[in-house]
A and B are shown apart, each in its own frame.
Chain A
Amino acid sequence: MEEQPQGCARVSGSVIDAPPQDAPPQSGPTTTHEASKMTARVGQKAPDFSAPAYYQGGFTNVKLSDYLGKWVMLCFYPGDFTFV
């Protein structure tokens, strides 16, 4: 993975849109954007994403689909410098 140029923009992770075939039908105009974006389910494709990362002294970009063919443990946690 190549080094990324570091600007001052507030970069963040983003989901690479590929709506799952089995997405639940929209239940009318009240469906929130967040709810319709929540697609992680066991037995289904993991939502692909691209995001900046720190890795062993450098900054890089991670794309989940680059890990196809490998087992992946994806771990979210509340924040750096927290206590648990």
Chain B
Amino acid sequence: MSAVAAHYGALQKLGVEVLSVSVDSHFVHKMWNDNELSKMVEGGVPYHMISDQAGNVGRAYGVWDETQGIEMRGRFIIDPDGVIQAMEVLTAPVGRKLAETIRQFQAYQLVRASGGKEATPAGWEPGKETLKPGPDLVGNVWKVWNPSME
């Protein structure tokens, strides 16, 4: 989560609000921020650190691990309508890659701004070609996109 705190500016530029959740109490969140995270990240954690000690929120999102009593690394992209557009869930020992989350936010924001008229092909990044699905594109994706462009 310190990686998210360190790159919070990039998320803020995209208008993204961050909410972190674990089964620790909000008092422990404060201790973690004060004694460790604030030493990794200038100014400490800039987002809300939510406490879900009973795992109720984690259960609703399918990340609750009954045997360990913890929540797995679940990351959800929620759009302004409150709809989940993307999710990624990892078990505890492997960390996330924030750059991919930022790329997905950029892609979903582009699609939303286009009113659904544009889609982003595999490996899309800002500045690269998008796809405009329609009758003309059927069977013709090869003309505008190929895997080497990923």
Give A contacts to B, CB under 8 Å. 10-15, 34, 37-49, 51-56, 59-60, 62, 64-65, 67-82, 84
* B120 CB, min distance to chain A CBs, angstroms: 16
B32:A77 contact, CB within 8 angstroms: no
In the complex the two chains form, is B54's CB within 8 Å of A39's CB? no
Q: How far is the CA of A53 from the CA of B48 in the complex (A)?
A: 6
A56, B108: Cα distance in complex, Å: 29
Residues of A within 8 A of B93 (CB): 84
Across the interface, do B17 and A73 meet the contact criterion of CB distance under 8 Å? yes
Q: Give the CA-CA distance A42 to B73 in the complex, in Å.
A: 17
Task: Knowing A54-B49, A81-B32 are in contact, say whether A37-B60 is a contact too (CB < 8 A).
Answer: yes
Q: Give chain A nearest CB distance to B99 CB in angstroms.
A: 13
Q: How far is the CA of A52 from the CA of B50 in the complex (A)?
A: 6
Q: How large is the interface on B (under 10, 10 to 19, 20 to 34, 35 or more residues)?
A: 35 or more
- Chain A residue numbers with a CB within 8 Å of B19 are 53, 62, 64, 67, 72-75
Tell me if A38 and B59 are in contact (CB < 8 A).
yes
Q: Give Cα A40–Cα B54 distance, bound, in whole angstroms.
A: 18
Query: How many angstroms between the C-alpha atoms of A80 and B82 in the bound complex?
Result: 27
Name the CB-closest residue of B to A58.
B30
Set of chain B residues within 8 Å of A40, measured between Cβ atoms: 60-62, 76, 84, 87
Are the C-beta atoms of A73 and B62 separated by less than 8 Å? no
Chain B contacts for A84, CB-based, 8 A? 92-95
B80 adjacent to chain A (CB < 8 Å): yes
Asked if B28 lies at the interface with its beta carbon under 8 angstroms from chain A, I say: yes
Q: Are B26 and A53 in touch, CB under 8 angstroms?
A: yes
Please name all residues of chain A whose beta carbon is closer than 8 Å to the beta carbon of B61 when the two chains form the complex.
38, 40, 47, 74, 76
B56 in complex: contacting residue of A13, A42, A69, CB < 8 Å: A13
Within 8 Å by CB of B28, from A12, A62, A71, A80, lies A80
Is B46 a contact partner of A76 (Cβ separation < 8 A)?
no
Pair A14/B58 contact, Cβ less than 8 Å:
no
A53-B49, A71-B15 known; A76 and B74 CB under 8 Å?
yes
Can you offer 26 A-B residue contacts whose CB atoms are under 8 A? A12-B53, A13-B54, A14-B54, A14-B56, A15-B56, A15-B59, A41-B84, A47-B57, A51-B52, A52-B26, A53-B50, A54-B48, A64-B78, A68-B82, A70-B80, A71-B78, A71-B79, A72-B19, A72-B78, A74-B76, A75-B18, A76-B20, A76-B61, A76-B75, A78-B70, A78-B92
